[in-house]
A and B are shown apart, each in its own frame.
Chain A
């Protein structure tokens, strides 16, 4: 039996990440055509992001950790940044700028979770009364 709140949390995370995935699918083609030297793309399994975001938001709904949704998203950014680095090392396509990723993704994910996931959680009833704190 799945709780409605958990399922909704998963669907919100997966839905937002899935919507953001239109960028790699659509803008990548445009970037390759328009920007000189843009053919060297890092090939990471970005299609897994909806599952990762969905599970992360589900975990948020279940555990209700003592931090804001933005900080929770930033934590996912750290995890994802490290995971991408390990993946690129494993497939032998790692490049030095990737060291920035575990610091860059948290900033990005903080914004996305705070400004998109958080309000959706609240509007759809995933958020409990308690966690409307900043961050």
Chain B
């Protein structure tokens, strides 16, 4: 029994802490800064196309449901 105890104490088990960095951040109450890209012409055009298409299609509700958005 004593020998077994010595062996156990001699070889520490593997660390179960898979995310040490994330844990450290959480412990430090780290603040995440989300840097959303500035809205330019590309994004504005995409929004216009997305909304405009819904105005043009004959059955927008069915179309949106096919998109997985409704």
Report A95 CB to chain B, min CB distance, Å. 7
Report B68 CB to chain A, min CB distance, Å. 3
The interface residues of chain A lying within 8 Å CB-to-CB of B65 are 24, 28, 41-44
Q: Are B63 and A119 in contact (CB under 8 A)?
A: no
In the complex, the number of residue pairs spanning A and B with C-beta atoms less than 8 Å apart equals 97
When chains A and B are docked, how far (Å) is the Cα of A100 from the Cα of B46? 15
Q: Are B37 and A49 in contact (CB under 8 A)?
A: no
Question: Which listed residue (A27, A111, A134) contacts B70, Cβ 8 A?
Answer: A27
Nearest residue (CB) in B for A69 is B37
Q: A24-B68, A105-B67 are in contact. Are A123 and B37 (CB under 8 A)?
A: no
Report B69 CB to chain A, min CB distance, Å. 5
Q: A27-B70, A84-B66 are in contact. Are A104 and B59 (CB under 8 A)?
A: no
Nearest residue (CB) in B for A1 is B18
Nearest residue (CB) in A for B38 is A134
The interface residues of chain B lying within 8 Å CB-to-CB of A104 are 49-50, 53, 63, 67
The interface residues of chain B lying within 8 Å CB-to-CB of A67 are none
Q: Are A115 and B32 in contact (CB under 8 A)?
A: no
Interface string of B30-61 (1 = CB under 8 A from A): 00111111000011001101100100011101
When chains A and B are docked, how far (Å) is the Cα of A115 from the Cα of B32? 16
